[in-house]
Every structure is written in structure tokens, then in C-alpha cells.
Amino acid sequence: MKVVIVGAGEVGFNIASHLARENKDVVVIDKNPDAVRHVSDNIDVQVVNGSGSSPVILEEAGIKTADIILAVTDSDEANLAACLVANIISPSTKKLARIRNADYDEYHDTFRDHAPHVDTIINPEIEVVKTINRLMNVPGAVEVDEFADGRVKFVGIHLDKSAQLAGVRLSEISTRIGKQSPLIVAVIRDEKLIIPRGNDKLMPGDLIYFISEQDKFLDCLSVFEKHIEPIDRVLIIGGGRIGFRLATLLEESSIHTKIIDKNPDRCAVLAEQLNKAVVLHGDGSDQEFLREENIQDMDAVITLTNDEETNILTSLLVKRMGARKTITRISKQSYFPLMSMIGLEQVVSPRLSAVNTILQHIRRGKVLSAKAIKYEQAEVMEAVALETSDIVGKPIKKISFPKGALVTGIIRNDNVIIPNGESIIEPDDRIIIFARRQAIPKIEKILAVKLEYF
């Protein structure tokens, strides 16, 4: 697969890095020679210095042989222009444009259905807000993803030192808890991903990923001694696009919301556009200011400024001052392993949301959605089993999947099945697959071969 990426900023760089690790043929275009040099020095991809909306530059990048063009510059207009020119030169190339301006929100479907030069509009900021909303409602969860229209949850949660399952083998969990064990898909220990077997023990501090049906989710949480706590009062620090989107969502949920920003002009805009949220002009990292706003009474504090160091330090401060929950926006991948070490377990990343949003459009086969998990060591995807596939009509234990990949859920009509080795996949089932990063290329081949699989 050949992918042309227009824009070598944070999103473009990280998507190029992700795809290069999978040995995709990637070309990155950017007008900034320093950005191009940064990509060239750090990733094994082809680079072109120039405008992504120039037909000459696009042809130099090989747009005529590209399967996909991703326009992810910081300019919405430049992204739309790049897709328009790409469509003129190579109509068969799939075109994705990153559009962040909220003015376009109501027109995403219109672009997809009526604008031939844009196949898909992506906005990672919308996905970040959805992620924050899910994390707010699951105590201790590092990740909460949904599949099958919300009927299946994929959750990453830390095992506390005092938890009843600490030191317990997977094969003994059902006996210990007196009921069926949740399907534990993976464990992160010392930053390494483990696909556990029956004899493997769960250890304190493990990050455990499990699959749950929506109607059994509370029971699964109770197994790990976690319980849903109501969120009534939320403080947002940072009134940018993500902060505004989140405040709007919380207003709709009747959650008492305060939003802080340093910029008085931005505060005026927020006050005009928000209906119920309290807009405060001030420094969200100022201890006295936070004390005046009764930070200890907040159920959740979400730090969303454009400075991730400020976000990290502010989250640590408000935790010390008594806030029950913090969610921190960061972007630098090198910071991720440090977060749990300093007590910040719930973090969100526009960069990772961008990767996740784009993955489902890059994967071969009938993939409905795809999510990269913890440090992008693995991926969870939802796909469709086709009638012609030889994975249908036989027990899962007899299907030859690559090492490090497994089927973790089957959705058949309105029923959700958490499978075991005897489960049988039927035509048109929606299947949730967990795969290590190294196994993804083989999974892609399975998904793409003559449309005979998935």
C-alpha cells in the first residue's frame, strides 16, 4: 500500500512513523524544509519539499500510484485544496482531509456524499472529546474504547496492590470471584505487552485490558474492585477548541462545568458561545486561584492547554489539592510511560486520536474501526466476516491466525458473543480482533486476499 501524507507536523509525522513501522510505502510532503528534514532524519520514508496542493509536487510524490492521500496540515483550506488537486490527477486515490474548524462539523457527511475530492473528513479533536467523556465515567481506566455501536467495551485498567486478583492465575479467576471471568486480552507490565495464558498471574500494577459486553460492564469492573462514581462537577483548564467542545458536551449532559483560560478575548468568545458553563479568566496552574474555585470539590479536572508540561504539572497540583479525578492532555510519545509513574493514569492525546481515526481507513478489508493501544504496541479492530471466507463455519481454535492475534468478540445481529475456542463465526458477523503490532500485516493480508476473508 502506498500512502501520500501532506503535512509533516505532529500528526503527519506520527502517522508516517506508524505506517513506516508496518513497511507501508509512505511519502511525506511539506513546504517547511525543517519539517521535511525532521521526518527524513527520523523515519525511513520518502520526503518531498513543496506544497501539497501543487499538481507538480503531487505527481513528484507519486499520487497516481497512491492508494490513499492524507491531508493533515494545520490549515483546513490547504487540506481541502490538496484533496481537490489529488482528485483531478488521480480520481481512484482515496482522499482523507483533517478538518478542525467547528464550522465544518455539520457538513462532514455532505463532503463525503457530494464532494468527490474528499472521501472522508477526520477531526481528531472530536475523538479526543469522546475519549475524555468515556474516561470520566470509568474510574482508574487508562483506555475505554467501544465497538459494535457501544455494545462492546474494550477497557484498560490498572490492578491495585490490594486487589483480590493480585497474584492470581488467569485459570483461577473464575473460582476466586465465584463467576465467569472477564475476557482478559492483554497485560502491560514494565511497558511490555503480554498476551496472557491460563498459568500467567496478574500482578499489582499491571495494566489489564479486557473485553466486556455493555450490559455486563459494571460486573466486570467490580471484579477489579472498581465502581462507577457519578460525575457532577467538572473543571476544564484550557479553553481552546478541545476545551470548548468538551464544555459543550458536558452542558448537554447537565454536568456543572467551569472552564478556565488565560486569554481574556478567548474567555469572551467562550462566554458568548456556551450556555451554562461558568467561564473564568485566570491561570489554571495558580494554586490560590484554584483554591478560590474550591478545587477540592471537583469530581474531575481536565487539563487541555496547548502546553503539555503545564497540563502535567497542573494535574499533579490539583490532585494534591483534593480533586478526585484528573485527565491530562499530552502529545509527546516519550511522556506516556512516565505518566503512571507520577500518578497520572488517565491521559489523552490528539496525536493518538489522529492515528486511530485514520487507521480504519488505511486497513485493508472490511474494517469498520481500529484503535491503537498503549504506546501503539497493539491494535484492536472491528471487521466483517464475508460469506466466502474460510474462517466461517468452523471453531475459532481451528482458524490459523498469526501469532499475537486473536478474536475477542463476535457480534451477530443484536447478540454479543465473547468467544472461546469452540465459538463459530458465521457470515456477516462483526468480529473484534486484537493483534500485536507485528501481527497486523498478516491480519491485513487475511482481510484483503481476494475478498475471501473477513
- Average pLDDT, stretch 45-57? 97
Grid cell, residue 86, equals 489529488
- Is there a common fold for 2-122 and 233-348? yes
CA 181 to chain centre: 26
- Architecture category of domain 233-348 in CATH: 3-Layer(aba) Sandwich (3.40)
Give the confidence band of 376 by pLDDT, cuts at 50, 70, 90: confident
Give the model's confidence band at 352: pLDDT under 50 very low, under 70 low, under 90 confident, else very high. confident
Judge whether residue 451 has pLDDT over 60. Answer: no
Query: In this structure, are residues 236 and 207 in contact, taking their beta carbons and an 8 Å threshold?
Result: no
- Rounded to two decimals, the pTM is 0.84
Q: Answer yes or no: is pLDDT of 333 > 80.
A: no
Strand 326-329 and strand 256-261: the pairing is: unpaired
What's the topology of domain 139-223? Alpha-Beta Plaits (3.30.70)
pLDDT band at 211 (very low <50, low <70, confident <90, very high): very high
Architecture of domain 363-451: 2-Layer Sandwich (3.30)
Domains of the chain, by residue range, sit at 2-122, 139-223, 233-348, 363-451
**Torsion from C-alpha of 328, 153, 441, 94, nearest 10 degrees:** -80
With a CB cutoff of 8 Å and minimum separation 6, the contacts of 26 are 2, 3, 4, 5, 16, 19, 20, 43, 45, 46
CATH of domain 2-122: 3.40.50.720
Distances (CA, A) of 413 to 389, 410, 428: 18, 10, 9
User: What is the pLDDT confidence band of residue 260, given thresholds at 50, 70 and 90?
Assistant: very high
